[in-house]
Amino acid sequence: MEKPAPYQDLSGTPGLSPRHALDILEVRTRETQSELAQRTDAGDAVLQYLVQHGAPATRAAVAANIAAPPAVNRFLADDDDENVRVELAVKIARLMPGLSPQEGARIFALTVETLEYLANDSAVRVRAALAEEIKHLTNIPRGVVLALARDLEQIVAAPVLEYSPLLSDTDLIEIIACGQVREVLTAVARRRPLSEKVSDSLVQSMDVPAVAALLVNADANIRKATLDGL
C-alpha cells in the first residue's frame, strides 16, 4: 500500500500534521492534569477545575488526594466513574480517624455527608471498599455502620459484622433474626468477643456453618444449656 505523503504546510514545508500535533498536546495535557491531581499543594481551585474537566484517571487521582477539600470530595461522590468513587471511599474512610467537629462544622458535616452517600452507593465495589476500611473504626456514624452491616451483599456486610466495635448485641440479634445469608451469620459467629445472647441467637438460627464457626470461636460466650441443646 502506498504511504501517505508527509504533511506540508501552505508554504510546502514538511512538518507535523495538525492531527498529530493535537494528539501530542492532548497526551501531554492529560499527563499534566494527572500530575497536578496528585499534588497536595495544587490548591483547591486547581483540584476543583480538574474534577470538573479532567478525564476519569485525573478525577480518580483527585479522589485519592488527601488534600482535596471536602466540597470537592462531595462532588466526586456523584462521579459517573465507579473507580473514582472507590478511590474516594478508601480515602474518606482513612481520613475519619483524624477528623473532629472542632476542625470546622462545615468541613466535618461535608465529610460525614460524603461518607453516608458512599455507604449507599449503587456499586457493590464502592460499598465493599468502604466497609473494609471502616470495619475497625470507632468514630464512624452508627447510621453508616448499620447500613453496611445490613447490606444484602455479603462482601459488604461481612467485614463490618465480624469486626465493627460499634455494633451492639441488639443490632447483631436483629440482623440474625432477619435471616441473612449464611456467610453473614458466619461473620457474626467469628466476632471476638461474642456474648451469650448473640450466641443463643446464632444457635436458634439453625444455620450449620454459623454454628460451626461459633463452636470454634474461643472468645464466644456460650451458655451450657445452649451447648446441651445442640
Q: What is the pLDDT of residue 66?
A: 95
Tell me the Ramachandran region of residue 2: left when phi exceeds 0, alpha when psi lies from -120 to 50, beta otherwise: beta
pLDDT at 64 over 90: yes
Q: How far is CA 140 from the centre of its chain?
A: 13
**At 182, is the pLDDT very low, low, confident or very high (cuts 50, 70, 90)?**
confident
The residue-averaged pLDDT of 199-210 equals 93
Q: What is the pLDDT of residue 83?
A: 98
The residue-averaged pLDDT of 80-106 equals 90
Q: Which residue has the higher pLDDT, 3 or 209?
A: 209
Find the DSSP H helices in 39-168. 44-53, 56-64, 70-76, 82-95, 105-119, 124-134, 142-149, 154-163
* Rounded percentage of the chain residues whose pLDDT exceeds 90: 70
Average per-residue pLDDT in the chain?
A: 87
Q: What is the pLDDT of residue 1?
A: 46
Q: What is the pLDDT of residue 34?
A: 77
Rounded distance between C-alpha atoms, residue 98 and residue 103, angstroms: 10
Q: Measuring CA to CA, which residue among 90, 137, 98, 132 is closest to residue 115?
A: 90
Q: Which residue has the higher pLDDT, 230 or 132?
A: 132
The residue-averaged pLDDT of 95-119 equals 88
Rounded distance between C-alpha atoms, residue 46 and residue 51, angstroms: 9
The structure's pTM equals 0.84
Q: What is the pLDDT of residue 8?
A: 46
The residue-averaged pLDDT of 107-135 equals 96
168: CB partners within 8 A, 6+ apart: none
Q: What is the pLDDT of residue 104?
A: 75
pLDDT at 12 over 90: no
* Rounded percentage of the chain residues whose pLDDT exceeds 70: 85
Q: Which of 33-42, 106-115, 159-168 comes out lowest in average pLDDT?
A: 33-42
Rounded distance between C-alpha atoms, residue 73 and residue 142, angstroms: 21
